[in-house]
Chain A
Amino acid sequence: MAHHIVPLNTNIKTLAALVVLTAVTVLTAKFIHLGGAGNLILAMFIACCKAGIVLSWFMHLKYDGMSNRVIALCGLAFLALFIGFSAVDLCSRNQGGQNQYSCGFSTEK
């Protein structure tokens, strides 16, 4: 396998992108109120983008072989299963025809 050396320039750009996205996370969470679970979903979306950047460039998955990508994706896929089924459980608990839990989409009673 070719040993790809990531240049300094790329590492600096990666750091810059991560710092900018951190600023976006703070600004959107503190000053934009989307209501309900909107802010949570937006913050998690930005965090996933940042994690993708770290995995691809800092952790070299972009230049790596298929087997390491598959291993990383397996970890993430099992985590997605865990989160997905837990969410389905919580959001489908019914009480008297009404969803017992808000699932974060509304905090009103």
Chain B
Amino acid sequence: MSTASYNKKEQAAHHFDSLDQQHDAGKEGVWIFMATEIMMFGGLFVGYFMYRTLYPQTYMAGGDSLNWYLGALNTLVLLISSFTMAQAVTETMQGNNKKALRLVTITTVCALAFMVVKYFEYTAKIDHGLFPGFNMWDPASAVEYANNHLRSDAGFSLVNLQPGQELAPGQVDGKSLKLFFVLYFCMTGLHGFHILVGVGLMIWIMKRLKNDEFGPKYYTAVEGVGLYWHIVDVIWIFLFPLMYLI
């Protein structure tokens, strides 16, 4: 705890030369955090690319069994929330805390809307036996669901291969479908966790905006949360085509 109290809007903390230096140091810290975020999700993306290369058909079938309308809707919701967040930073930098508060509120509503859509997607998948854990994975139901949603020109179908059974022409072993859903739930789940953390951060920012704590000289917290929110958007930009479309 610092014993010296200072006006954050007007003075730098005692270990900084100036407000500018304080701002740049804080922002650079957030950027280092962003680089680690890129690398953390990057590991999961490498896993996705490798298994997609090994099992191209089951990954196509897995993607087709997701509802891409909901994925596209969520993409739009996140893009709009990124815009309102960017504009909130612009308003805070001009000292318009009230306007910024409204924009961050819209961003939070978008974040919650994203999670509501995700809730409906997850429960639908779990109902069809597509959750790969806790004994909820149902191979027969999963393969049937994937086959029913497979694109018409795929040229193959998945089968639940039994021991001793041979694959007929045009049939693909559906065992690796589970692997797709492991990555689907891990990647979108980790991303959804980031959305929830973002909601928490935005509640904090809204409280401070309401107290009129920011101004043209001090707005680091809003900018930092903005950077975090945009990287969450960037990750979804890659998740959406990889999971839902291809």
**B172 → A minimal CB distance (Å):** 10
CA distance A43 to B60 in the complex (A): 14
CA distance A67 to B75 in the complex (A): 30
Q: B82 in the interface, Cβ–Cβ < 8 Å? A: yes
Using C-beta atoms within 8 Å of the partner chain, give the interface range for chain A.
35 or more
Task: Mark the stretch among B36-44, B118-126, B184-192 that contacts chain A.
Answer: B36-44
The reply to whether A15 and B245 contact each other, CB–CB distance below 8 Å, is no
CA distance A5 to B36 in the complex (A): 27
The interface bits of chain A over 46-68 (1 if a CB of B lies within 8 angstroms of the residue's CB, else 0) are: 11001100110111000001011
The reply to whether A7 and B38 contact each other, CB–CB distance below 8 Å, is no
Q: B76 in the interface, Cβ–Cβ < 8 Å? A: yes
Residues of chain A within 8 A (CB-CB) of B52 are 40, 104
**B87 → A minimal CB distance (Å):** 5
Please list the 10 inter-chain residue pairs (A to B) with the smallest Cβ-Cβ separation, ordered nearest first: A75-B35, A29-B245, A75-B38, A79-B42, A43-B241, A15-B83, A58-B86, A71-B31, A68-B31, A51-B234
Q: Taking beta carbons and an 8 Å cutoff, which residues of A are in contact with B?
A: 1, 3, 5-8, 11-12, 14-15, 18-19, 22, 25-26, 29-30, 33, 39-40, 43-44, 46-47, 50-51, 54-55, 57-59, 65, 67-68, 71-72, 74-76, 78-79, 82-83, 86-87, 90, 101-104, 107
Q: Taking beta carbons and an 8 Å cutoff, which residues of B are in contact with A?
A: 20, 23-24, 27-28, 31-32, 34-39, 42-43, 45-46, 49-50, 52-54, 56-57, 68, 72, 75-76, 79-80, 82-83, 85-87, 89-90, 93-94, 153, 216, 226-227, 230-231, 233-234, 237-238, 240-242, 245-246
